[in-house]
Structure 1
Amino acid sequence: MHVTHLSLADFRSYARVEVPLDPGVSAFVGANGQGKTNLVEAIGYLATLSSHRVSSDAPLVRAGAERAVIRGAVTQGERSQLVELELNPGRANRARINRSSQVRPRDVMGIVRTVLFAPEDLALVKGDPGDRRRFLDELVTARSPRMAGVRADYERVLKQRNSLLKSAAIARRYGVTKPGRASSRAVAEPPGEPDDSGTRGGSGADLSTLDVWDQHLAHTGAELLAQRFELIRVLQPLTEKSYEALAPGGGPIALEYRSSAGLTVTHPDESPDRSEIYEQLLTALGETRKQEIERGVTLVGPHRDDLVLGLGQLPAKGYASHGECWSYALALRLASYDLLRTEGNEPVLVLDDVFAELDARRRERLAELVAPAEQVLVTAAVDDDVPGVLAGTRYEVAGGEVKRA
């Protein structure tokens, strides 16, 4: 698969730009602040419906514009498709395929697939658990686009459940029930301790619907966790292979999933099935209900889990050197690429200003490993940052224009 044309309107620094693209390597070269990353960010958005740089859509719309449009023409084998996304901050985004059929934005997922290497990748090793959860879930969705709906359902249920718990916590603290959408069924009663069933939130906030939300959360959470466990099972050997290629003799490495529901998985081949995960999530939710009511937040579920990256006998976070962290992060990305490629739809490789961050040995090794890909998009401040093995089409990026060199 490769992108043959990128069109942007009011996206980031570009009022309008048209960029024809070829298979193989394309390098966007220009001084910092000229818009190189904006181009690959747009392609990444077509694949993931999110940016690797910001958490909301508002910064993606050019200053003074109401909306931004990203269009990408994609070819896979003999089939070509045009994907269009209209970004409307504060309102629903819109999507079209082949100009005619309007669809939900998440329905375009899977048409474009990318694997991104960027300076932010160090957060996979050094950052918070949320960075690693996002890595897992984006890869899960790239493998199975339907999981975008499962993730959205889980977030919706979690938001509703947290709203109910927050109402109960407020009621417990002040002895009153705060009216609101999630607490509309609450009944004001004198303050008191929760009963054994946990259906009363201290002040009498009615939590009779909490059991239903528990079931919904466990159902969608079990689906997401099962996909994460399966991903780790297939990703582990690929990551080991990639790490050895980048840092020979530097391992061993291990991917260990730690679940807030007590489902710690140290050997992916022994991970539980969906029904077992569902039951364990329900049990854990029941066991933490009193604490959740007191704190007003859901304490159990995929949103509280972590992927622990082991290097040798220790976790990489806090113990690995800077170079080892880079090798680990790159190995995870290379493993992601290998996994998606073997499953039938080779992704576009995007290397966003990553070579400037690497020492000479890792730079050359990474370049050799990615060079055979069907399409590689590289950004760099100067030509010298692009390894010679990645010879290909060069684009000069400056002043809001993109010109083939």
Structure 2
Amino acid sequence: MYLRKLKLINFRNYHQLDLKLHPKMNVFIGDNAQGKTNILEAIYMTGTGKSFRTSKEREIIKMDKDKSYIHVEGEKKYTSVSVEIKLEENKKKQMKVNGVTLTKNVDLLSNVHVIVFSPEDLKLVKEGPVERRKFMDIEISNMKPRYYHQLGQYNRVLIQRNNLLKKIHHDRKYMATLDIWDEKLVELGTSIMKERIKFILRLNTLSRLLHRKITDNKENLEIKYMSNIKEVHDEERIQHYFHRDLKKVLDIDIQRGTTTVGPHRDDLGVYVNGIDIRIFGSQGQQRTSALALKLAEIELMKAETGEYPILLLDDVMSELDVKRQAFLVKSLRDIQTFITTTDLNALSTLNLEAKNIYYVEKATVRQNDEKDINELKSK
């Protein structure tokens, strides 16, 4: 799929912006804090309903304004798509797809498929398990909106169980209702783990192949799903051992007032030639692995939805060496891509003939002609 038009009103530092977009490559160049990433953030929101930069929607509305508006028009494999999002201070977010009002964020997920790749993603391998769980949950949700719904339910049950544990710590009479929450936690948690297992198995196969290409067959990447529940082979065994482990750690959970077993504590193992590169890998190995994971994610979404997603590259090219840049760009030939950068020379591997180049300064976006591009490259 690809987007044709983007319209913003009072979004971040933009008063109003209307852009016609290239179906392949769109490059936004400018100094920091001029508004480049804001454009990518707006596009991401039309696909997910959320920002990849903040959980506070008030930050998205332009300072001194109380309303914000995003509108994109695009083409999918068999149909056109139009998405509108209106944000208003102290009011619920309004969303429309092809003029039809949506009541739930989950209903937005299957319309504009989008993946973001930023310098933070290059830290995916070496950061803590929270980041890797977030990676799994975002990507599975984008492909399967039902997972997003189940994850929300699981987190709500988890909060209820943790609150109950705190009450039990002070008064054991509350134990009577614990089994009810345990049953629901196991039911939802099992569904989440099943989807994660399937996702990681497919991700492992694709990322290993891509990683071999990037490293000229010198390194072998392996991704493992690391659950704190010992048996995660099939639904029946997951449920059995989830129940068992909840009972085994019950005294600890009551003392701490929190649930220490379940998918909210899981992680990914990332290995190169059998070595855990989260701990022992070089920066180059960690970045190569993160790149392979992101590219594999794109192929997974293509397999799941029947078309490539839109890719947002937020200042990531400058973080990669020339070899990794070239591999990334070669992989994007069939994908509409939005790139932000402070230095056009950092994009030396790009073929500029099939792209739109925009110069961004103080929330003003100007499409550059060939003369502008040559001047920018010479600086």
* Structure 2 length-normalised TM: 0.91
Unaligned runs of 5+ in 2: 369-379
Deviation at 1:308, TM superposition (A): 1.0
Task: Note the 1:4-403 alignment, pairs <5 A.
Answer: 4-88=4-88, 91-169=91-169, 171=170, 203-263=171-231, 272-343=233-304, 344-370=306-332, 372-391=333-352, 392-403=355-366
1:285/1:22 Cα in 2 relative to 1: closer, same or farther (>3 Å)?
A: same
1:207/1:108 Cα in 2 relative to 1: closer, same or farther (>3 Å)?
A: same
Deviation at 1:166, TM superposition (A): 2.4
Tell me the amino acid that sits aligned with residue 374 of structure 1. Answer: I
Q: Would the aligned equivalents of 1:140 and 1:228 in 2 still touch at CA under 8 Å? A: yes
State the SS of the aligned residue for 1:206: helix
Q: Would the aligned equivalents of 1:260 and 1:299 in 2 still touch at CA under 8 Å? A: no
Give the distance between the partners of 1:211 and 1:127, measured in 2 at CA.
Answer: 35
Q: Would the aligned equivalents of 2:164 and 2:174 in 1 still touch at CA under 8 Å? A: no
Once superposed, what is the RMSD of the aligned Cα atoms? 1.8
Give the distance between the partners of 1:106 and 1:154, measured in 2 at CA.
Answer: 15
Give the distance between the partners of 2:48 and 2:351, measured in 1 at CA.
Answer: 26
Q: Would the aligned equivalents of 1:94 and 1:105 in 2 still touch at CA under 8 Å? A: no
1:209/1:122 Cα in 2 relative to 1: closer, same or farther (>3 Å)?
A: same
Give the distance between the partners of 1:249 and 1:368, measured in 2 at CA.
Answer: 18
User: 1:193 aligns to what?
Assistant: none
Give the distance between the partners of 1:94 and 1:261, measured in 2 at CA.
Answer: 40
Give the distance between the partners of 1:149 and 1:390, measured in 2 at CA.
Answer: 41
- CA shift digits 1:51-72 (9 cap, x unpaired): 3323433332222233433222
State the SS of the aligned residue for 1:385: helix
Q: Would the aligned equivalents of 2:71 and 2:85 in 1 still touch at CA under 8 Å? A: yes
- Identical aligned residues as a percent: 30
State the SS of the aligned residue for 1:207: helix
Q: Would the aligned equivalents of 2:322 and 2:349 in 1 still touch at CA under 8 Å? A: no
Give the distance between the partners of 2:88 and 2:158, measured in 1 at CA.
Answer: 25
Give the distance between the partners of 2:130 and 2:88, measured in 1 at CA.
Answer: 26
Unaligned runs of 5+ in 1: 172-202, 264-270
1:91/1:214 Cα in 2 relative to 1: closer, same or farther (>3 Å)?
A: farther
Q: Would the aligned equivalents of 1:259 and 1:302 in 2 still touch at CA under 8 Å? A: yes
Q: Would the aligned equivalents of 1:25 and 1:390 in 2 still touch at CA under 8 Å? A: no
Q: Would the aligned equivalents of 2:77 and 2:307 in 1 still touch at CA under 8 Å? A: no
State the SS of the aligned residue for 1:124: coil
1:18/1:130 Cα in 2 relative to 1: closer, same or farther (>3 Å)?
A: same
Tell me the amino acid that sits aligned with residue 180 of structure 2. Answer: V
State the SS of the aligned residue for 1:395: strand
State the SS of the aligned residue for 2:110: coil
Tell me the amino acid that sits aligned with residue 188 of structure 2. Answer: T
Q: Would the aligned equivalents of 1:71 and 1:84 in 2 still touch at CA under 8 Å? A: yes
Deviation at 1:89, TM superposition (A): 6.3
User: 2:374 aligns to what?
Assistant: none
- CA shift digits 1:126-153 (9 cap, x unpaired): 1110111111111111221221111111
- CA shift digits 1:215-261 (9 cap, x unpaired): 11111111111000000111111001111222223421111111122
Deviation at 1:214, TM superposition (A): 0.7
Give the distance between the partners of 1:122 and 1:135, measured in 2 at CA.
Answer: 12
Give the distance between the partners of 1:25 and 1:14, measured in 2 at CA.
Answer: 22
- CA shift digits 1:150-172 (9 cap, x unpaired): 11111111111111122333x2x
Deviation at 1:205, TM superposition (A): 4.6
Q: Would the aligned equivalents of 2:49 and 2:108 in 1 still touch at CA under 8 Å? A: no
Q: Report how many residues are paired.
A: 365
Tell me the amino acid that sits aligned with residue 351 of structure 1. Answer: L
Give the distance between the partners of 1:79 and 1:104, measured in 2 at CA.
Answer: 22
* Structure 1 length-normalised TM: 0.85
User: 2:375 aligns to what?
Assistant: none
